[in-house]
């Protein structure tokens, strides 16, 4: 039996009168890459934002390593070991690459460990090292995605939430980013990946959930879903 | 005194006055940067700072520097309390509610102060004696030196805090994108409190220095400098720290030149004419990038 890291049980999230998540339940086990796919507006980002504490669930439960985290503020959830790469990267454009990474390590005080991890990020993303003194806003889209991922890794998360890492990137770059996601996973970080690019997401994930207008409609092994007629028609272009 | 000397003299006067505006404008701009609020109570916080300095000197028998520190501490705490009680409950309310509340806080501070210290102006003790430096016909008096010196030291400290310390980086991150800063583990409420504390402490310094410079303080003294500092912050580009300083200095110099060469009656008109011109031709201010408002 796999050890479950994140358990979301029957959460309901509202934006004012709009019922965005209607009883979503999902589980992420330690060591997995789990992907949440679905059309625009299905509630994928809402799910990640609720896990990160930026949105509140009206009912249901979210537990991480057996501990209820649904009531915690966003900054406290980072300390529990969950880090998010938000949709659209949201790097701090007016700060340098280095400062962005330092902010990623905001919850830590071990100077040497932080320096080590900055080097680790630079090994993984050599282009960031070349640009470490540059303002983050001057980076290309792909580099900004790398910076956002590097920044999220700086808190040494056990669970990394990735929201649309492929957004706006060229196909070749998407491949590179996804292979880095696999590397990060192999190095021991569990990943919950939200994607519109279902093809790519299913190709690297172990398990997958399909979200449709606020409800999980399908779930299973990524390979099974990739082969299923329903998913192929709706999300993989036939 | 020929024209160029008179010009230089007004420049010196303008820089002193501008430093005061800069100190107040910094608080405006920092607070705007982080919660997008034009804190119209900020001028009154400056007034409270002046009174605390006044009482620290007259009742506490403190010298100018200890009095400044006391005033910064007390006013800084006042800033935190104002934010906690008046603004924090409105964190998710429309911005107009926040703005109206700020105006309410402004009146509250003005008239509560009036109740406790009476509306009569107080004479600020002269602390500097008659120290002044003469360069040819130019006179730089002790108060002006004090204002320029203290302002410069505070700017250096503030720049250090904002750029080199962890909390400063958190402040910049939160003012750029609060939500993402939270995803880094930054406690936004704490950063907002610290921002109010620093902004209010800077206003307190301005209040005490104005007391020293003009020798007179009263409970409504914050209204005009508060508005002027707002103009300074807009002129420099609201939300941008160096903009507040440059905007304050420019405004001070222009006012002094208008007062010196045209008529002091037009001083205030000059400041607000600048506001109108900036809003017409460069609404993002000197340092601001012209970006359209995100909805």
Reported as a single tens digit per residue, the pLDDT across B49-108 is 999 999 999 999 999 999 999 999 999 999 999 999 999 999 989 999 999 999 999 999
Q: What is the pTM of this model?
A: 0.91
Q: What pLDDT band is residue B129 in, cutting at 50, 70 and 90?
A: low
Closest to A163 measured CA to CA, from A220, A222, A91, A89: A89
Distance from CA of A89 to the nearest CA of B (A): 9
Distance from CA of A77 to the nearest CA of B (A): 8
This model of the complex carries an ipTM of 0.94
What tokens were used for A221?
Answer: 């092994």
Domain count, chain A: 1
Selecting from B169, B170, B183 the residue whose C-beta is nearest the C-beta of A86 gives B183
Residue B52, number of CB atoms within 10 A of its CB: 23
Reply yes or no on whether the pLDDT at A123 is more than 60.
yes
Chain B residues lying within 8 Å of A92, measured CB to CB: 172-173, 176-177, 180
Contact in structure between B99 and B36 (CB atoms under 8 Å): no
Instruction: Give me the CATH number covering residue A18.
Output: 3.40.50.300
Q: What pLDDT band is residue A238 in, cutting at 50, 70 and 90?
A: low
Reported as a single tens digit per residue, the pLDDT across A4-46 is 999 999 999 999 889 999 999 999 999 999 999 998 889 999 9
Say what the pLDDT of residue B295 is. Answer: 40
Reported as a single tens digit per residue, the pLDDT across A171-204 is 999 999 999 999 999 999 999 999 999 999 999 9
First to last CA, chain A: 35
Chain B residues lying within 8 Å of A106, measured CB to CB: 166, 169-170, 184-186
Q: Which residue of B has its CA nearest to A108?
A: B185
The DSSP 8-state label assigned to residue B153 in this structure reads H
- State percent of chain B over pLDDT 90: 82
Taking the C-alpha atoms of residue B66 and residue B149, their distance in angstroms, rounded to an integer, is: 16
Per the prediction, chain A carries an average pLDDT of: 94
Reported as a single tens digit per residue, the pLDDT across B9-44 is 999 999 999 999 999 999 999 999 999 999 999 999
- A225-228, Cβ contacts within 8 angstroms, sequence gap of 24 or more: A226/A199, A226/A202
Reply yes or no on whether the pLDDT at A1 is more than 60.
no
Selecting from A79, A93, A106 the residue whose C-beta is nearest the C-beta of B170 gives A106
* Domain architecture of chain B: domains with CATH: 3-281 (1.10.3470)
Question: Under an 8 A CB cutoff, do B184 and A93 touch?
Answer: no
Distance from CA of B290 to the nearest CA of A (A): 15
Task: Tell me the residue range of the domain where A87 lies.
Answer: 4-235
Angle between helices B188-214 and B64-82 (to 10 degrees): 140
Chain B residues lying within 8 Å of A107, measured CB to CB: 184-185
């Amino acid at each position: 039996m796999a050890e479950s890291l994140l358990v979301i049980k029957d959460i309901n999230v509202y934006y004012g009168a709009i019922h965005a998540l209607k009883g979503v339940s999902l589980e992420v086990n330690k060591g997995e890459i789990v992907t949440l796919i679905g059309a625009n507006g299905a509630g994928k980002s809402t799910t990640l934002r609720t896990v990160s504490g930026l949105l509140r669930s009206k009912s249901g439960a979210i537990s991480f390593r057996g501990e209820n985290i649904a009531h915690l503020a966003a900054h406290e959830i980072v300390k529990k070991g969950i880090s998010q790469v938000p949709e659209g990267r949201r790097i701090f454009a007016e700060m340098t690459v280095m400062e962005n990474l330092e902010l990623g390590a905001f919850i830590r005080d071990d100077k040497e460990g932080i320096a080590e991890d900055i080097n680790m990020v630079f090994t993984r993303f050599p282009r960031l090292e070349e640009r470490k003194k540059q303002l983050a806003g001057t980076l290309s889209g792909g580099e900004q995605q790398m910076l956002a991922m590097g920044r999220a890794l700086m808190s040494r998360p056990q669970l990394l939430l990735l929201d649309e890492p492929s957004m706006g990137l060229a196909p070749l770059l998407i491949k590179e980013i996804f292979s880095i996601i696999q590397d990060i996973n192999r190095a021991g970080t569990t990943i919950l990946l939200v994607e519109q690019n279902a093809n790519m997401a299913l190709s690297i994930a172990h398990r997958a959930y399909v979200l449709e207008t606020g409800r999980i409609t399908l779930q299973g092994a990524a390979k099974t879903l990739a082969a299923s007629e329903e998913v192929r028609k709706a999300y993989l272009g036939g | 005194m020929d024209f160029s000397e008179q010009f230089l003299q007004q420049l010196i006067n303008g820089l002193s006055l501008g430093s005061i505006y800069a100190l107040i404008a910094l608080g405006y701009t920092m607070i705007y940067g982080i919660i997008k609020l034009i804190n119209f109570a900020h001028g009154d916080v400056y007034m409270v700072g002046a009174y605390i300095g006044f009482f620290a000197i007259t009742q506490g028998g403190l010298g100018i520097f200890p009095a400044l520190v006391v005033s910064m501490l007390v006013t800084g705490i006042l800033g935190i309390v104002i934010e906690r009680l008046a603004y924090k409950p409105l964190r998710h309310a429309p911005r107009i509610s926040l703005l109206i509340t700020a105006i309410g806080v402004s009146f509250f501070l003005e008239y509560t102060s009036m109740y406790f210290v009476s509306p009569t102006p107080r004479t600020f003790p002269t602390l500097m004696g008659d120290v002044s430096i003469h360069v040819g016909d130019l006179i730089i008096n002790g108060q002006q030196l004090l204002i320029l010196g203290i302002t410069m030291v505070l700017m250096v400290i503030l720049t250090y805090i904002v750029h080199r310390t962890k909390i400063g980086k958190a402040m910049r991150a939160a003012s750029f994108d609060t939500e993402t800063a939270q995803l880094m583990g930054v406690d936004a409420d704490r950063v907002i409190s610290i921002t109010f504390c620093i902004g209010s402490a800077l206003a307190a310094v301005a209040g005490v220095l104005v007391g020293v410079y003009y020798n007179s303080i009263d409970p409504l003294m914050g209204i005009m400098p508060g508005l002027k500092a707002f103009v300074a912050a807009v002129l420099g580009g609201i939300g941008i720290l160096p903009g507040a300083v440059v905007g304050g200095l420019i405004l001070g110099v222009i006012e002094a030149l208008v007062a010196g060469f045209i008529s002091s009656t037009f001083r205030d008109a000059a400041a607000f004419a600048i506001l109108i011109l900036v809003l017409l031709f460069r609404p993002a201010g000197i340092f601001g990038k012209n970006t359209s408002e995100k909805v």
